[in-house]
Structure 1
């Protein structure tokens, strides 16, 4: 019964019971540094590229870190996770979606929650290093990409387990939640960042991306309808929300995965907490702490968050021999 009724997570103080304080402090103000990564560029079949940052600490086990929307390999949650797993003796790979590594990608396409081909190519690179055990840890969109990958691709048995943190399992539900109350602040921030990238793309590809339409964009719905969906082969926003949502493929998952979605997460709607599904599924575990915000989960130890601590615990349990 992989629904975890009672999460062990407790905020370190009363103030962090406010999800916006947790989310904003960790996302905007918490200072961390990335490890001294090496970088490898993977050339893709369509002529584009993705960049992977990595450190080899062990030849036996590796963790792959997957960032969220408009994130990168050096986001706070990735940095603390990388240091935690390096300390635990893992090699670490932190990949960047197209346009997220500090250098704009070549093609009009960017990335989205349902990208599985780029994810597959990234994983093939990690698998080529020969690690007997590989684990996946993703945050927000990165968690959705992991779930879509596990639910729609043939998975190498050396991929042992995964953890998805603050994951929008149903994109439409999450999109509607971001339109309410204070959550609009996060939505506006995403809209501003993605609009800047789309403007660059409109200069590179004026026949593909219409700058006059982009100038009038005021909502994330319009970005998804007029840019994200058509640029990536979807019929429109609704088609994108359906086909890129992990909810529509997670029945197929055969690799143990723990989803940690806080009940106070300001980014997640009701359909992002599939309790009854988890009760019946053999491989999809669901943990729903009362608090934690979005990609936050602060602890009394300022160096690490509950997400990486819990992920390490889950990975260790998944590889224990009976």
Structure 2
């Protein structure tokens, strides 16, 4: 579908650029009225995933399965805000936590990564057993890439209950985005991610001392280094370049078979606009790429917040509820 340049989102004047628009919601948006019910499920390789359920008080229109971003979890404001909006408007929600996320270290050597669609499929198939006839997928940042890759892999064989997908702030070219985070203006994001990942590597090294070494972490100066030394090695890839090539959503979107909306901000500090496959998406039947001038990375705070909804949350509701597709 043609790439959409939308003007319906306007950031507040006191959030003047993509950095402020990304950081402000993360630090200052507090959502305390989402009530989750947690369920732990066992995976086929004898590990576990923590699922957080939130249900509407109405007759559910369907279930939305939400995938969070890098080093995130079901408690991040962009997940909580979306869950609150969805449940208030008639959708049940399942916000799942990746392996090692959600406050509990997983048991196997592997962590999670941008293309670990086996876990997403396992969650989807588990949710199907609950009897839902309508499922929608939603992802943010890394979770957006994961969602798009999954949809492309499945193609026309996609589970028939899955009707639509919406993703935000998606790093569709993992190499380009890994290099973008190395820029001097993005050093705070890089330090934050690496400082979050190091304790996990340390915990894994204690559990599997013969397979993973914390000493190697001294070589990690960039996100590319981390993916080359740890992500690739622990998940069966030849190195960072192999991992990025085999898991970037830009190589899978052409096979998506259901209505799918991708929303990215042109001022996203972590996802360069030229890393998005705009020309390719222009030729696709089922995929829309909507670009906003502002919004940052998983931000999208509007000038005026109505009913507690950020612009991204209202946009997702409009897309899921629309029958004109």
Match of 1:227 in 2: 230
CA apart distance, 1:65:
1.4
Match of 1:61 in 2: 62
Match of 1:304 in 2: 309
Match among 222, 242, 255 for residue 239 of structure 1: 242
With over 3 angstroms needed to count, the CA separation of the structure-2 counterparts of 1:34 and 1:240, relative to structure 1, is farther
**Residues 1:9 and 2:9 aligned together:** yes
Match of 2:216 in 1: 213
Unaligned runs of 5+ in 1: none
Count of residues paired in the alignment: 319
Aligned pairs for 1:1-322 within 5 A:
1-11=1-11, 13-33=12-32, 35-57=34-56, 58-153=59-154, 154-299=157-302, 300-301=304-305, 303-317=308-322, 320=323
Following the alignment from structure 2 to structure 1, what is the Cα–Cα distance between the partners of residues 108 and 127?
Answer: 24
CA apart distance, 1:216:
4.0
The secondary structure found in structure 2 opposite 1:227 is helix
The secondary structure found in structure 2 opposite 1:68 is coil
Following the alignment from structure 1 to structure 2, what is the Cα–Cα distance between the partners of residues 60 and 19?
Answer: 34
Which segment is superposed worse, 223-232 or 269-278? 269-278
CA apart distance, 1:34:
5.8
Structure 2-normalised TM-score?
A: 0.94
Note if contact 1:63-1:135 (Cα within 8 Å) is conserved in structure 2. Answer: yes
CA apart distance, 1:99:
0.8
The secondary structure found in structure 2 opposite 1:16 is coil
Unaligned runs of 5+ in 2: none
Note if contact 2:66-2:93 (Cα within 8 Å) is conserved in structure 1. Answer: yes
Note if contact 1:62-1:135 (Cα within 8 Å) is conserved in structure 2. Answer: yes
| Aligned residues: CA RMSD | 1.5
CA apart distance, 1:126:
1.4
Note if contact 1:177-1:268 (Cα within 8 Å) is conserved in structure 2. Answer: yes
Structure 1-normalised TM-score?
A: 0.95
Which segment is superposed worse, 302-311 or 219-228? 302-311
Following the alignment from structure 1 to structure 2, what is the Cα–Cα distance between the partners of residues 2 and 130?
Answer: 35
Which segment is superposed worse, 81-90 or 23-32? 23-32
Following the alignment from structure 2 to structure 1, what is the Cα–Cα distance between the partners of residues 207 and 136?
Answer: 37
Deviation sequence 1:242-270 (CA, Å, 0-9, x none): 11110111111111111101000000124
Note if contact 1:176-1:269 (Cα within 8 Å) is conserved in structure 2. Answer: no
Which segment is superposed worse, 124-133 or 283-292? 124-133
CA apart distance, 1:171:
0.3
CA apart distance, 1:321:
6.7
Deviation sequence 1:141-166 (CA, Å, 0-9, x none): 11111101101123112111111100
CA apart distance, 1:55:
2.2
The secondary structure found in structure 2 opposite 1:197 is helix
Following the alignment from structure 1 to structure 2, what is the Cα–Cα distance between the partners of residues 222 and 191?
Answer: 10
